[in-house]
Amino acid sequence: MTLGFDGLSNFREVGGVQRGMLYRSEELSRLSVADGERLRGLGIRVICDLRSDRERAKKPARLGADSGIRIVPVALQDDAAQRVIRNQLLGCLYGRAGGERYRGIVHEYYRQLAFERGERIGAVLRVLGREENLPAVIHCTAGKDRTGVVAALVQLLAGVEYETVMDEYLRTNDCLRPQFAKFARVMRVLTGFRFSREQLVEMASAQAEYLDVLCGGLVERYGSIDAYLRDGCGVEEEILGELRGRMSLT
C-alpha cells in the first residue's frame, strides 16, 4: 500500500507480509510536519537507515525531537564503496561503455551487498527481529537498491511468493517515475545526447534481472535464502524464526 506523504514519493508498506509491520522509503530529509504526524500515526518505532555516513550527514531525516522514533544507522556500504560505484556509473554515462556496462556495474553492486556486506544485512534483520522495534521503516537514498534487497530478503524469509517479491521490487519504478524522467532530461544534455530518454530511464530503474541474478546466486551458493541469512549474514536461527513469525501471513 502506497501512503500519501508530502515530501516522499517512494514510501510504502512492504507487500506480502503482515500488515502494519514493515515499511520502505527513500531518504527522509524532505518530511513535512504533517509527514511526521503520518509516521507517528503508523506507530513507527524504528527507522533503519541503510545509507553511508556521508549520505546521512548530507541529508539527515527531518524528525522532530519529540517524534518518539529511534533511528538506527546500518550502512550497507561505506562512503568509499559508495563513491566507487557512483563514479563507475557516471563513467558509463560520460564514456562510451553505455547501458550494457551500466547494468554490469549494478549487478556487481548487488553482489557486493549480498556477499561482502552480509554481516550488515544481518544487523538490519536483528533489529527487525525484535518485537519492540516494530513497526519499522527501512530506507536508503532512493529506496530502490539497498532497500529493495533487504525488503526482498525479509519477504522471502516470510514465505512470500517470488512473483509478489518481484512486483514489490519493481513498484519503485512507478513511484519514482517523475524523478527518473527528470534524471533523463538532465543527463541527456550533460552527456551530449548520447543516450535516448528511454535508455536513461531504463538505466535509472530497478530491473527484474538484478533481483533474479542476486537471488539465484544466493540459492546456488547457500541452498536457500534462509541458509544465506543464517550462514552468510550470521543471523541466529532464533531471530530468523521470530522475524519469520512476525512477518509471515500464515
Q: Cα separation of 129 and 150, whole Å?
A: 13
pLDDT range class, residue 171, cuts 50, 70, 90: very high
Task: Summarize pLDDT for 2-30 with one digit per residue, the tens.
Answer: 568 999 999 999 999 999 999 999 999 99
Q: Cα separation of 179 and 159, whole Å?
A: 32
CB 83 within 8 A of CB 173: no
pLDDT at 97 (0 to 100): 60
pLDDT at 239 (0 to 100): 96
What's the whole-number average pLDDT of the chain? 93
List of long-range contacts for 181-189, beta carbons under 8 Å, 24+ apart: 187/93
Cell of 57: 550527514
Q: Cα separation of 140 and 61, whole Å?
A: 11
Name 46's Cβ contacts closer than 8 Å, sequence gap at least 6.
Answer: 69, 70, 71, 72, 127, 133, 134, 136, 137
Q: Rounded to two decimals, what is the model's pTM?
A: 0.94
| Partner residues linked to 137 by β-bridges | 23, 47
Which residue's entry shows cell 509527514? 35
Q: Percentage of residues in the chain with pLDDT exceeding 70?
A: 97
Task: Summarize pLDDT for 197-220 with one digit per residue, the tens.
Answer: 998 999 999 999 999 999 999 999
Domains of the chain: 12-241 (3.90.190.10)
CB 197 within 8 A of CB 184: yes
| Partner residues linked to 29 by β-bridges | none
Task: Summarize pLDDT for 126-169 with one digit per residue, the tens.
Answer: 999 999 999 999 999 999 999 999 999 999 999 999 999 999 99
Residue 104's CB is within 10 A of a number of other CB atoms, namely 13
